[in-house]
Amino acid sequence: MILTATGLVSPRPAVAADDPFAPARQRMVTEQLAGPGRDITNARVLAVMGKVPRHEFVPGHLRSQAYQDRPLPIGHGQTISQPYIVAFMTEQLEPKPADRVLEIGTGSGYQAAVLAELTAEVYTIEIIKDLANQAAASLKQLGYTNVHTRTGDGYKGWPEAAPFDAIIVTCAPEKVPQPLIDQLKDGGRMIIPVGSLRNQELVVLRKHDGKLDRWAVLPIHFVPMTGQAQGSGVKTGKHIVIIH
């Protein structure tokens, strides 16, 4: 780990100065996140989006498209989310340097890497074993020492590591799973897509004295949550939302 100019400890070395993807990554930030018609304003989130190498979390043959304004396939019918969606959900979660965060739906590991730059610890669960293993390998190779990975049913959360300051969910149950509510620290925040396949909203929750304040922030379309949320079995599908 290294101490940054802001006084925060970074979980991985700074991006190499000769990174050939750096210009595309900066264009992604200025045009897709903070540009006209977009609304990402959190300076910490923008800085991290400009640092984390998204191209390392996509298949090799798609690296030239890594910083385009859209999701990309990562195998098993899944996608890495559109950069704007990653930034939007991260900003809405209001991550703090001392936070311990639970992520449901690791996918390629990109969202976990973004959170790892902004918080103390990230616990991330992926139900598809091959994706979980690949994400763990990518995160380790990039030097993220504060990310804990697990293969399993995200509906159940990670009870032995609870409570969490924040929870982020990147797959959509029809209602917020009670185990995740139980594992959210009082005063904590959760962002989660909720609803049926054809009618989903991205919802922010805040827990106060055991009760939840809830408000919708964006119509969305995510893959349904699988495992216990659907009774049994694993079904997969693409996260196809594109925000213009």
* Active site residue ranges: 81
Cα–Cα distance, 112 to 142 (Å, whole number):
12
Cα–Cα distance, 205 to 214 (Å, whole number):
5
Query: Sign of the C-alpha dihedral, residues 131, 136, 139, 145?
Result: positive
Cα–Cα distance, 67 to 62 (Å, whole number):
10
Q: At what angle do helices 129-141 and 110-118 cross, to 10 degrees?
A: 40
Q: Give the helix ranges, DSSP H, for 94-164.
A: 110-118, 129-141
Residue 217 and residue 92 in contact, taking contact as beta carbons nearer than 8 Å: yes
Cα–Cα distance, 94 to 124 (Å, whole number):
18
